[in-house]
Amino acid sequence: IQENENSVEIQITDKGLGIPEDMKEQIFESFFHTKKALQHSPKGVGIGLKIVKHIMDAHKGQINVQSQPGKGSTFSLIFPRS
């Protein structure tokens, strides 16, 4: 967790499959799965990141993702201090 005058940022990192660059925008769509994600864990519904995006939008925050296929992802949730 990082704080400054204007915002609070929370970073969540996983060591999962990673997300290909060309799919980063799609991961926030309802029911989206990469092909590798379906092979690795077919039980997921595909709405988790959509819900996170909706919550961030409701708080006028932003969500950023950095990812390397095969190495994992880091999601940054940035909440403004209103």
Looking at residue 30, which CATH number applies to its domain? 3.30.565.10
For 36, the domain range is 2-80
Question: In the chain, how many domains are there?
Answer: 1
pLDDT tens-digit profile of 37-53? 555 665 666 688 899 99
Q: What percent of the chain stands above pLDDT 90?
A: 54
Instruction: Determine if the pTM surpasses 0.85.
Output: no
Whether residue 81 is predicted with pLDDT greater than 70 in this model: the reply is: yes
Listed in sequence order, the residues at least 6 apart from 74 whose beta carbon sits closer than 8 Å to its beta carbon are 11, 12, 13, 14, 65, 66, 67
Confidence (pLDDT) at 64: 96
Q: What percent of the chain stands above pLDDT 70?
A: 80
